[in-house]
Structures are given as C-alpha cells and as structure tokens.
Amino acid sequence: MAAYAHPEVLVTTEWVANHLADPRVRIVESDEDRGLYTMGHVPGAVEIDWQVDLQAPLERDYIDRAAFERLCSERGISNDTTVVFYGDKNNWWACYTFWVFKLYGHPECRIMDGGRKRWELDGRTWSTERVAPPHARYTATEQDASIRALRDEVLRHQKSGRQLLDVRSPEEYRGERMHMPDYPNEGAVRGGHIPGAVNVPWVRACNDDGTFKSARDLEKLYVREVKLKRRSPTIAYCRIGERSSLTWFVLKYLLGAT
Amino acid sequence: MDTVASRVERIVGEFADLDPREKLELLVEFAAGLPPLPESHRARRAEAEGRVHECQTPVFLWPEVIDGRARLVAEVAPEAPTVKGFVAILSQAVEGRPAAEAAALDEAVIDRTGLAEVLGMLRSRGLRAILARVKRGLLAAVPPTTSAPRPAAS
C-alpha cells in the first residue's frame, strides 16, 4: 500500500492558509494548555478545549448531545461546515476533538498535518486576534457507539481474543510507571496493561515535524511489526484519551482499519 | 503595606472583571515574566529534583528561604504557558516576604482569580498541587524557632 486509506482527511498547512477566509471551513485549535492558542493561533481559528469544552463538568464523560450542539453553534460550525482540527504535539488533542466530532456524527472533519509545529516550521503567520464567528445552527446525531468501547465491551473483546492496542509508553505498558515519561502521575492507580494488549506507543506514528508517518512506514509499524489485522476490530486505549484518539485516527483513516 | 496577602489582593484585582479570554491573556503575560532558571539550579533540574507530582506538565519548583525570606525558583516547560503563569503569580506573591507569611498563601487565589473556571477541574487540581508543594517547601525550609516547645528526652 503506497497511499493513505482516506487521504482526504489530512490537509496541509498550505491548504489551510488558502482557506482562512472560506466560509465553508472552520479551523479549530485544541491543545494540552489553553495558553498556546492565547499566545498565537492560525488566523481565524477558534479554540475548543478538551477539558472546559468537551468534558462534562459533573461526570467522568464527554459533554452530552445538547452541549455539543451548543458548542458547535457558538463556534460558528453548522452541519455542513468542513472542520479542520490542529494543535500541539503531533495533533494529539486535535485528534481527540476530531474523535468527539465523529462521536456526534459530524461528516466533514480534517486534520491539519503537523499541527502547530508544522505551521511554525512553514513560517506561517500567528494571530492573537479575538475570533467570534456568528453563531450557527447545529443538530448532532446520537453518539456513534461504534467508535467508543465501554468497560463491558472491552472485557468481551478481550475474552474473545481480539486485538487490543495499548498506545502508552513501554514503561507504562510494562507497569514500571503509571504516567507518560516526563509527566507526573495524573491518577492511574494500577500499573501494567490489559492482558492480551500489544504495545505501540502513539508517538511512533508521527515524524519529528509533527506530521504523520507515510502509509508505508505506518504499515510496517502496525501490520508487519505487531501483526495488526486491519479487517479485525481493534480497541486502542491509553489513560485519558488523547493518545488513543491519535492512534484511532491513524488506524482508521490512514491505514484503513475497521 | 506590602504583604503576601496584599500582593494576592492586587493580583486578584487584576483578574477581576476580565472575560475568560482576557484572563488567559493576562496569565500568559505573567508567564512571560517568570525569570529563567538561575545557573545554580540547572544541574539540580537535570536530576529532576523539585519535580511536582499530580499536575499535567513537567514543572520544577524550588521553594527556598534565605535569611528568613521566601523565594520561589522555578522552571516550567514553554508548552505549558498557563501553568507557568500561575507559578509566576506565586513567585511574585512570595518573593522576599517572611517565610511563615509566604507559607500561609491561601489556595483560594485559584478560584478568586477565576482561573479554576477558565482552566477546568483537572488543571485546577494541578495548580493546587503546585501551591501545596510550594507551601510545604517553604515550611520545611523555615528553621525551627528556639522558643518552640521541645519534646522531653525519653
């Protein structure tokens, strides 16, 4: 395989630069730290924060459908808007936001390959201007349960010997540490991995400039190295969701896995 | 009078009446004002001493007391400007004040500045962990007073 399975989901920084004023396009930044967007964002981009905007305030869950509709409306996103996500560190949180948009059935979603890093490396302009698009009308679908696995489904999946992908660091996988290297513990209470899971750290899907690896390299990594079967269902997991969102994006859209 | 409490009041006042985006902008301004890590602490940073647990970003903190006066030496990764801004606020609040006064810094500052609301619950928990670490460090650095009651030898 020489090409991505769904190459249309990736856009370059050049494409984004050429669509800054396109009313059919909304550019969305999502980062670990909200200060990054504040210090400078792609001109015209709105911010969606994984914590304040996408997580329910009272339960350990994503926002509900009504809140998602409100969020899209406030960000000037309607059902037919092409939404381009980008952000820090290989687009990990951008993939998380992309995933939530797919959870509520948004059709046209893209990732700006390379995110903030590539935008910077390409010498493009940063803006600190306020962005307040006119509110839009938005109707979300029910959650797409096919892209989300809850505990009981994971258990059934595991018991039937299906593919489980642990995308955390090798040290977390082996139970030597309970958080990312260089990051403090955020509350994982037990070390180790789900029995049967193979380990492919999320970051291995990305190049140093924040872009995704080529189809050939991804195939080498997931298909040849860990023998992932693309036609067999896979559950990817990490700890709070941003790393597995990126791997989910890579497997589904770049490698064409089910 | 210049005290830790009066400095906190001034900072809270700066955040008052700002909308969420302006609060983030002000926080990022504070971040820009955090002095770079002094040479004296570079090697210790390499040993990962002073690391704060339970927050989401690599943060290195050295709460110190020199001649009874508090100071906060710190380094926060550039990819974490809001955390860096909060550490800069703490540093400004305690710098040069008596250690006991600095160690009494109230965590209500996180709510009163409105940062809890713009950063969310998980990040606020991280900020509280940073503040708790600074306070513990300052208290540990205060030499015991001679008038303190001492346990009898057994």
If 0-12 CB within 10 Å is exposed, 13-18 middle and 19+ buried, where does residue A242 land?
Answer: buried
Least confident of A86-100, A111-125, B15-29, B30-44: B30-44
Number of domains composing chain A: 2
- pLDDT of B144 above 60: no
Q: Is the pLDDT of residue B5 over 80?
A: yes
Percentage of residues of chain B with pLDDT beyond 90: 68
Same domain assignment for residues A102 and A166: no
Residue type, B124: S
Percentage of the residues of chain A whose pLDDT score is greater than 70: 96
Question: To which H or E segment does residue A236 belong?
Answer: strand A234-237
Residue A115 in any domain: the answer is yes
Q: What is the dihedral of CA A175, A180, A186, A192, to 10 degrees?
A: -10
Q: Is residue A2 situated within a structural domain?
A: no
Q: Given a cut of 80, is residue A181 above it in pLDDT?
A: no
Question: By the CB < 8 Å criterion, does B27 face chain A?
Answer: yes
A185, A215: one domain: yes
Q: What is the mean pLDDT of residues A218-238?
A: 95
What is the C-alpha separation between B130 and B33, in angstroms, rounded?
Answer: 18
Decide if A186 touches B, using CB distance below 8 A.
yes
On whether residue A153 sits in a domain, the answer given is yes
Q: What is the DSSP string of A154-169?
A: HHHHHHTT-EEEE-S-
Task: Please report, rounded to a whole number, the percentage of residues in chain B having pLDDT higher than 70.
Answer: 85
Q: Are residues A172 and A235 both part of a single domain? A: yes
Do residues A51 and A137 both lie within one domain? yes
Q: Which residue of A has its CA nearest to B22?
A: A38
In 3-state terms, what secondary structure has residue B71?
A: strand
Residue ending a domain, choose from A121, A144, A167: A144
pLDDT at position B59 is 86
Q: What is the DSSP string of A67-108?
A: HHHHHHHHTT--TTPEEEEEESGGGHHHHHHHHHHHHTT-S-
What's residue B150's pLDDT?
47
> B22 pLDDT exceeds 90?
yes
pLDDT at position A177 is 74
Any domain includes A87: yes
- A85 and A184 housed in the same domain: no
Q: Tell whether the model's pLDDT for residue A188 goes beyond 80.
A: no
What domains sit in chain B, N to C, each tagged with a CATH number? 4-141 (3.90.1010.10)
* A116 and A203 housed in the same domain: no
Question: Which CA distances in Å does B7 have to A79, A141, A189, A232, B114?
Answer: 48, 50, 38, 60, 16
Q: Considering only CA atoms, which of A38, A83, A110 is closest in space to residue A254?
A: A110
The domain boundary residue, chosen from A113, A144, A175: A144
Residue A74 sits in which domain range? Answer: 7-144
Position B154 scores a pLDDT of 40
Q: How is residue B47 written in tokens?
A: 């040993």
Burial class of residue A92, CB neighbours in 10 A (0-12, 13-18, 19+): buried
**What are the chain B neighbours of A239 within 8 Å (beta carbons)?**
none
Question: Are A139 and A179 part of one and the same domain?
Answer: no
Closest CA to A138 of A239, A70, A219: A70
Given an 8 Å threshold on Cβ–Cβ distance, is A183 in contact with B58? yes
**A24 and A72 part of one domain:** yes
User: What band does A256 get if pLDDT is binned at 50, 70 and 90?
Assistant: very high
Residue at a domain's end among A117, A144, A171? A144
Domain assignment of residue A86, yes or no: yes
* Mean pLDDT for the stretch of residues A150-169: 95
**What are A133's two structure tokens?**
């698009």
The stretch B117-135 carries a mean pLDDT of 91
Q: What is the distance in angstroms between the Cα of B124 and the nearest Cα belonging to chain A? A: 11
pLDDT score of B101: 94
Q: Is residue A1 part of a domain?
A: no
* Calpha distance B154→B149 (Å, rounded): 15
List, by residue number, the catalytic residues of A. Answer: 238
pLDDT reported for residue B42: 86
Q: Does A140 lie in the same domain as A33?
A: yes
Domain of A172, CATH number, reads 3.40.250.10
| pLDDT score recorded for residue B84 | 97
| Per-residue confidence (pLDDT) for residue B55, from 0 to 100 | 47
pLDDT tens readout for residues B29-81: 999 999 999 998 888 877 765 565 544 567 889 999 999 999 999 999 999 99
Contact of B119 with chain A, judged by CB distance below 8 Å, is answered with yes
Angstrom distances, CA of residue A156 to CA of A152, A163, A186, A198, A239: 6, 11, 28, 17, 20
- Residue B147: per-residue pLDDT: 47
Residue of A nearest to B118 (CA): A52
Q: What's residue B58's pLDDT?
A: 78
Does position B148 have pLDDT exceeding 60, yes or no? no
Same domain, residue pair A126 and A164: no
Identify whether residues A162 and A116 lie together within a single domain: no
Same domain, A106 and A40: yes
Q: Quote helix, strand, coil % in chain B, to nearest 5.
A: 55, 10, 35
